[in-house]
Chains A and B, each alone.
Chain A
Amino acid sequence: MAQARTRLAAALSMARDRVGTRTGLLVLPVVGFELVVFAGALGYLLRMSFYASTPDGLYQPGTWTVTNYTQLLTDSYLQGRLLFSLQLGAVVTAITLVVGFIYAYAAWRASGRFRAVLLGAVLVELLISIVIKVYAWVPLLAPNGTFNSLLVGSGLAESPVALLGNGVGVVIGLVYSMLPYVVLAVYAVLTSLDWSHVEAARDLGASRPRSVLEVVVPQAVPGLLAGGITAFSWSTVAFAAPSILGSPSERTVASEAGRFVNTTFDWPRAAALGIEAVVVVVLVIGLAVALVRRFGPADTTEGVL
């Protein structure tokens, strides 16, 4: 009997090893793709950031210097733009998470055609180019645009409110653009949640809001985290929405990098700024995940980082 058990354990172990090797092989193309497209491009960017700048071209080939980083770190204007970009990312992420959770919850609780319409709406938004989506907000937010016509017409405002060419327009455009990623991530998690847990909480006396806050929200944390990371990393380095819906005051690090690439033709400076932005965004996300691990519900960050 004991011998049979040993044989069975050995056979299972061999099977596990075989499956593990095959699974590993399946991942190889993805790893190769990531190495070329992601690591390769990032490596190129990193190398570019160490070239010396020149007023006579894009960069000086064959040079190595850390000047781009020392100048960048001591440039109060650019550090201010980085701080602004992080603040913009944080505000957009916070609003998107709240709105996205409510939307995903509504879609989860809806049924039939209503659910299809709610989910279809966010999917359709993903099919539209971000530049077109952002431009669509221009006539809506303009001083004599749709929203202001409604505000003034309904008596809620005496004169047109400034919604375009400032931070309000940028945040609206970015929240709209990021919303599908949060909604779909949260919805995917909610579909695995057992509704009977919520019912049990309510049977035990919890109000509707409390049952959502104490049962649904903790379960949705992995989705909120995944959506939040996407929203934060994209909106922090946003280019289109600040350019189209904002004023120069809403210039992000991406706007500045674009200026160095296309206007002053200082590619090493643009690359150094890009690398700094990547490092800072990764650090902030790492900190957020660590905080959720420390203070959030158990096992909610598994697979995220």
Chain B
Amino acid sequence: MLGTVGGSVAAVAGCLGGSSSSTEDSLTVSVYGGAYGNVFEETVAAAYEEETGTTVNVSKAWSNRVSKLRSASQGNGGPPYDIIGLSGFNYLTARNEDLLTPVRYENVPNAEKVWPFFREYRSDEYGVPGEGGVLGIVYKEDSPHATTWSEFMEVDAPAGMNGGYWKNPLLIAALLTDEADGVEEIYDPSMHDAMFTTLEALAQNIATWYRGGADVWSALSGGTIDYGAFYYASGLAGIDNRPDSNYQMVLPETSPGYFTNFCVTNTKKRDEAERFLDFMLRTDIQTAWNQNGYYVPANKEVAGNYAERLQGVYPETNAEMESFFVIGNAEELSPYQSDLSDRFTEITTA
């Protein structure tokens, strides 16, 4: 009975929202929101449309994407997306909930060009790595600001950090905690107290725990903060869009980061979706994506041709790539994620 009700509601939602299979010559791709989604739409999706004639609908959102995929899968209209870009716990949960279809790598030959680090860090069975990103510090040029994570606790100026998601702030806290090497503290429950003590000290200087890109820019322009942690690529793109501002970005030596696996859902358009993934990994497309959006390309052939302002900033070998990214391993963190999220939220709410 309840399943029927859920299915009916999902079916109604599908009718209203339109399912992925509504048009034969189209693909629906779900990606992150903000500047990321715009660059993806203008660079990757538009190039695919031009070359193949297939319409690519880009669905942009920061949250609720896996939940929406899970809810809509109960209806008869098929999943709301044919392809979805996921990282961390979103990727893990979507895999565990059987919302993704394994990638047939014989249909994605360009995956051979992906950095081994991206392919081996976590299973790429359900999604090809597309791009990555690391956290930098955005600041007002004429105001005091931090250039390293430890300076977040030292500089006497209002700072901002993402409070919507616990992982990156906790990775920063782990980096600044000396109980173990690197960010090992986050994986060891016996060191969590020490890590949270560091976070509490860090929180003393945080004027705003923002929830997304839009909040960062409004906090900067509104005068609430003078600097804050923000994704390096999105920050550079945001600064490009604000030519009259005096904002700059700096990338600390070691930073939390992510990379995205682009996954095929349980769609009927599996062949077309895999064609899109192969296209997305092509060297010319990856180069254009990097030039326009500044993300770290998954394709190793782009190294050496990064956008001018990224020359010497982004890694050019697999070994450099490994040390460049500090990624919280979702599978290892899974047993503690609820507790870590609770404790983090409690500190940011205090």
Contact = CB atoms under 8 A, between A and B. Distances in A.
Interface of A: 36-37, 40-41, 43-44, 47, 53, 55-58, 77, 81, 138-139, 142-145, 160, 164-165, 243, 247-249, 251, 256, 258-259, 261-266, 269
Nearest to B214: A135
B190 interface: no
A144 B223 contact: yes
B5 A43 contact: yes
Interface in B257-312: none
Nearest to B341: A264
Nearest to B160: A165
B64 A262 contact: yes
B342 to A, nearest CB: 7
A133 to B, nearest CB: 16
Given A43-B5, A144-B222, A77 B67 contact: no
B97 A47 contact: no
A145 B222 CA distance: 7
Q: What is the size category of the interface that chain B forms with chain A?
A: 35 or more
B70 interface: yes
Nearest to B207: A165
Interface string B59-95: 0000110110010000000000000000001000100
A261 B67 CA distance: 7
A221 to B, nearest CB: 37
B123 interface: no
Contacts of B219: 165
B224 A164 contact: yes
A148 to B, nearest CB: 9
B189 interface: no
A57 B345 contact: no
B211 interface: yes
Interface stretch (B44-52, B146-154, B175-183, B332-340): B332-340
Contacts of A57: 93, 96-97
The 8 A-B pairs of least Cβ separation, nearest first, read A142-B222, A143-B223, A40-B5, A248-B348, A262-B63, A57-B96, A55-B334, A248-B349
Contacts of B8: 36, 40
Nearest to A145: B222
Given A248-B163, A263-B165, A143 B89 contact: no
Contact of A77 (B70, B89, B342): B342
A265 B93 CA distance: 8
A55 B222 contact: no
B2 interface: yes
18 contacts: A40-B5, A40-B8, A40-B9, A41-B5, A44-B9, A56-B96, A57-B96, A57-B97, A81-B349, A138-B218, A142-B221, A144-B222, A165-B224, A248-B209, A249-B350, A259-B345, A264-B337, A265-B89
A269 B221 CA distance: 37
B172 to A, nearest CB: 17
Interface string B318-348: 0000000000000000110110011001101
Contacts of B337: 55, 264
Interface string B128-171: 00000000000000000000000000000000000111100000
A191 to B, nearest CB: 36
Most B CB contacts (10 A, CB to CB) among A41, A249, A256, A262 go to A262
A251 B349 contact: yes
B93 A142 contact: no
Contacts of A262: 63-64, 66-67
B53 interface: no
B74 to A, nearest CB: 11
Contacts of B218: 138-139, 142
A36 B12 CA distance: 12
A142 B5 contact: no
B123 to A, nearest CB: 14
Which of B221, B345, B350 has most chain A Cβ within 10 Å?
B345
B5 A266 contact: no
Given A41-B5, A144-B222, 11 more contacts: A77-B345, A139-B222, A142-B222, A143-B222, A165-B219, A165-B224, A249-B349, A251-B349, A259-B341, A263-B166, A266-B338
Contacts of B109: none
- Residue of A144, A259, A266 with highest tally of chain B CB at under 10 A: A259
Given A44-B5, A165-B208, A55 B338 contact: yes
A201 to B, nearest CB: 49
A165 B348 CA distance: 13
B308 to A, nearest CB: 33
Contacts of A259: 341, 345
A286 B341 CA distance: 35
Contacts of B93: 57-58, 265
Contacts of B66: 262, 265
Nearest to B337: A264
Contacts of B96: 56-57
Contacts of B165: 263
Contacts of A263: 63, 89, 164-166, 341
B163 to A, nearest CB: 5
Contacts of A55: 334-335, 337-338
Contacts of B6: 44
A40 B218 CA distance: 40
Contact of B222 (A40, A47, A138): A138
A31 B113 CA distance: 60
A266 B97 CA distance: 13
